[in-house]
A and B are shown apart, each in its own frame.
Chain A
């Protein structure tokens, strides 16, 4: 009676497949992503390289992307699976950036609708945005208040914590 998810959720799966193919063919620098299990296109694993000339440089940060059934009408959620100290990443690893928020719900009550999710975004754009977020935190809408404070008041300490996390992700 119940078909597999793949045939049930057509647009979402077909679009995710298209994006996956594109990511394989023309992989952008510093990011890679793909489904964890090819039977379930709604859970992806991705790797993001720390941007150069930031304390994140040299690190490779694993994260999971979870897509809703109505992707691309609704945004996926992104969660780092490694320890990451950043003003816009919650302590549990969930990434808080405006393009991952659906228009309408505004947790911080100040993002304008034009910065929110729209189907024009894609996995690639999300990952690139997250990369630039790593390089340039936005402390106005902090997700991790401790990281915000350290980033604002004690940049050397911030760099130190981030670098020690980078070493941890590399298993050093």
Chain B
């Protein structure tokens, strides 16, 4: 619609200019001279030229692609900006040679780029869903890809001819741009052919098959080669421009992106190869007992069956249905595992790397920490152990623990039993008669050993308090290791009550905290050490709302001060 209005205006203006020129001047020649010498006329005519070009582009697009999808339009807008700015930067290098031919080449380049993006989007779309009318779709895609390849190569030849006869000029840039485009076009064509082969294989197969198993591998090689060729072309051009003209600003971004993508691909490729090479021997078959513990495959959610030792039964079970055990102990179908390893070389359940040596730095400390805790029977300080993966994933932030200065109380606080524990719904103001609700933990979440859930309330000024026993509320910042969980639930490890909410005398020298009668000395020492490491040695008043803060200097009055009627 906007295009129609723009077109109509342009055409009317251009016609008006032409008609007036021919009426005012006696003959054709002088009319042309007049038009060429008047800037206003030239602008009007140039505007019409732009309109004609856009119109031509739209017509070609309608023929080759039909209506565009929303996502395709979004991609276009996004990429066009980059393309235009980068080419404008490139113009600065060749500013002496700016002429009509440059303009024509530039426009051609822009339109061809757009068609390349559209083509790639279409092929990707085909991989995701089946097109509504396959015949027209495939006709269009194949014609488009053929045309693009042909045009790219033709222009490259033209540009090269020009460079060879007249020495390096701005055609160098166009030869390079079109070489990149040609690479893209060929990669898209390759991808299209791979998809066609997959369709053919699936259509021919008698039984139901799960796509073409080796397609992922071929796609991988294709991408690798494409990236390599692109990198080669970019670097060549970069060096050429650097020697002949100076630093080519406009492609630095592309060179960097291609380089990074190439590196990532190589790294992924090596890891993938390592993880999938000799999959049969690398990952042992799961035993009956292991399968019975974890009977469904986490990827396809279907039952796993252990092939019995009888050879004839084994042959009826396809290889991809065989249960395989990962180093972390989780069991998956062979085929499901392989397709997941194409994406990530980690266990889908616990995210430990499937390659022992792949990423030791990321997992070992955590494991060690867990082992230590198990040995000492001490609760987990700091962030929750991986149990909360599912629960923590429910929002972006699985809350980090908040290291705090520790509170003080002269009475030994009691540890709440799970039956006593309730939570207040989320961040709300404390109200009279607010109901307490039973704890509801997110499904799949297990409270770590030694942790408790305590009621939370929040005041209008942002002060948050949790209830450690009847009518005793402690400001959040004074409690150690508080982890917000879901809807206002707080986890607090009542590790060693004395050390956690220890007496004021102990707080100056945390290690001197008297061990609780229930806990072993080593445990208390560790807790106290934790307290010391993550807190200031002396109890410091909380910054928020001093009047209500239990962290008053006079610790003996703490329970009374922080007692607030409900």
A binds B: yes
Q: Is the CB of B395 within 8 A of A138?
A: yes
Q: Is the CB of B208 within 8 A of A7?
A: yes
A103, A115, A121 pick with most chain B CB within 10 angstroms:
A115
A48 to B498, CA, bound (A): 44
Chain A facing B: main interface SS: loop
A70 to B393, CA, bound (A): 21
Pull 20 A–B residue pairs with CB atoms less than 8 Å apart, ordered by A: A1-B134, A2-B134, A11-B336, A15-B301, A18-B302, A52-B425, A69-B128, A70-B339, A72-B299, A102-B343, A103-B344, A108-B396, A113-B351, A114-B393, A119-B336, A120-B349, A125-B390, A132-B394, A133-B394, A138-B395
Q: Is the CB of B301 within 8 A of A53?
A: no
Q: Is the CB of A118 within 8 A of B397?
A: no
A159 to B208, CA, bound (A): 52
Q: 1/0 per position for B303-347, CB-CB distance to A under 8 A?
A: 000000000000000000000000000000000100110111010
A3, A103, A136 pick with most chain B CB within 10 angstroms:
A136
Contacts of A14 in B (CB 8 A): 300, 302
Q: 1/0 per position for A85-108, CB-CB distance to B under 8 A?
A: 000100000000111001110001
Contacts of A54 in B (CB 8 A): 425-426, 487
Q: Does A23 contact B (CB under 8 A)?
A: no
8 Å CB contact of A132 from B127, B130, B395: B395
Q: Does A19 contact B (CB under 8 A)?
A: yes
Enumerate A49-86 residues with CB–CB distance to B below 8 Å. 51-54, 68-70, 72-74
Q: Does A37 contact B (CB under 8 A)?
A: no
A9 to B298, CA, bound (A): 18
A51 to B442, CA, bound (A): 13
8 Å CB contact of A115 from B127, B392, B444: B392
Q: Does B389 contact A (CB under 8 A)?
A: yes
Contacts of A132 in B (CB 8 A): 394-395, 442, 486-487
A5 to B344, CA, bound (A): 26
Residues of B within 8 A of A (CB): 127-130, 134, 199, 202-203, 208-211, 298-302, 336, 339-340, 342-344, 346, 348-349, 351, 386, 389-390, 392-398, 425-426, 428, 442-444, 484, 486-488
Nearest A residue (CB) for B350: A120
Contacts of A111 in B (CB 8 A): 396
A12 to B127, CA, bound (A): 14
Residues of A within 8 A of B (CB): 1-5, 7-11, 14-15, 18-19, 28, 42, 51-54, 68-70, 72-74, 88, 97-99, 102-104, 108, 111, 113-116, 118-122, 125, 128-129, 132-133, 135-136, 138, 140-141
Q: Is the CB of B199 within 8 A of A2?
A: yes
Q: Is the CB of A97 within 8 A of B487?
A: no
Contacts of A51 in B (CB 8 A): 487
Question: Known contacts A15-B300, A132-B486; can you find 19 more A-B pairs with CB under 8 A?
Answer: A2-B203, A7-B202, A10-B209, A10-B210, A51-B487, A53-B425, A53-B428, A68-B128, A69-B129, A72-B300, A102-B343, A108-B396, A113-B346, A120-B390, A121-B393, A128-B394, A132-B442, A135-B486, A135-B487
Given contacts A11-B300, A14-B302, A128-B443, contact A98 B426 (CB under 8 A): no
8 Å CB contact of B397 from A103, A121, A128, A138: A138
Contacts of A118 in B (CB 8 A): 348-349, 351
| Minimum C-beta distance from A113 to chain B (A) | 7
Contacts of A52 in B (CB 8 A): 425
The 10 closest A-B pairs by CB, nearest first: A53-B425, A129-B394, A138-B396, A119-B299, A99-B393, A10-B210, A18-B301, A119-B348, A132-B394, A115-B393
Chain B facing A: main interface SS: loop
Q: Is the CB of B487 within 8 A of A69?
A: no
A9 to B339, CA, bound (A): 14
A68 to B343, CA, bound (A): 14
Contacts of A102 in B (CB 8 A): 343
Given contacts A114-B386, A138-B396, contact A5 B129 (CB under 8 A): yes
A108 to B397, CA, bound (A): 12
| Minimum C-beta distance from A18 to chain B (A) | 5
A85 to B386, CA, bound (A): 32
A143 to B301, CA, bound (A): 32
| Minimum C-beta distance from B36 to chain A (A) | 49
A48 to B351, CA, bound (A): 29
A74, A108, A114, A132 pick with most chain B CB within 10 angstroms:
A114
8 Å CB contact of B398 from A11, A70, A115: A115
A3, A118, A122, A135 pick with most chain B CB within 10 angstroms:
A118
Nearest A residue (CB) for B434: A53
Contacts of B302 in A (CB 8 A): 14-15, 18
Q: Is the CB of A3 within 8 A of B203?
A: yes
A125 to B348, CA, bound (A): 15
A51 to B440, CA, bound (A): 13
8 Å CB contact of B211 from A9, A119, A121: A9
Q: Is the CB of B486 within 8 A of A136?
A: yes
A15 to B335, CA, bound (A): 14
A102 to B486, CA, bound (A): 22
| Minimum C-beta distance from B450 to chain A (A) | 22
Contacts of B202 in A (CB 8 A): 3, 7-8
A41 to B517, CA, bound (A): 60
Q: Is the CB of B340 within 8 A of A73?
A: yes
A76 to B444, CA, bound (A): 21
Contacts of A116 in B (CB 8 A): 393
Q: Is the CB of B339 within 8 A of A73?
A: yes
8 Å CB contact of B426 from A129, A135, A141: A135
Nearest A residue (CB) for B296: A18
| Minimum C-beta distance from A43 to chain B (A) | 10
Nearest B residue (CB) for A108: B396
A14 to B208, CA, bound (A): 12
Contacts of B209 in A (CB 8 A): 10
A9 to B134, CA, bound (A): 17
A88 to B393, CA, bound (A): 14
A103 to B344, CA, bound (A): 8
A102 to B134, CA, bound (A): 30
Contacts of B444 in A (CB 8 A): 125
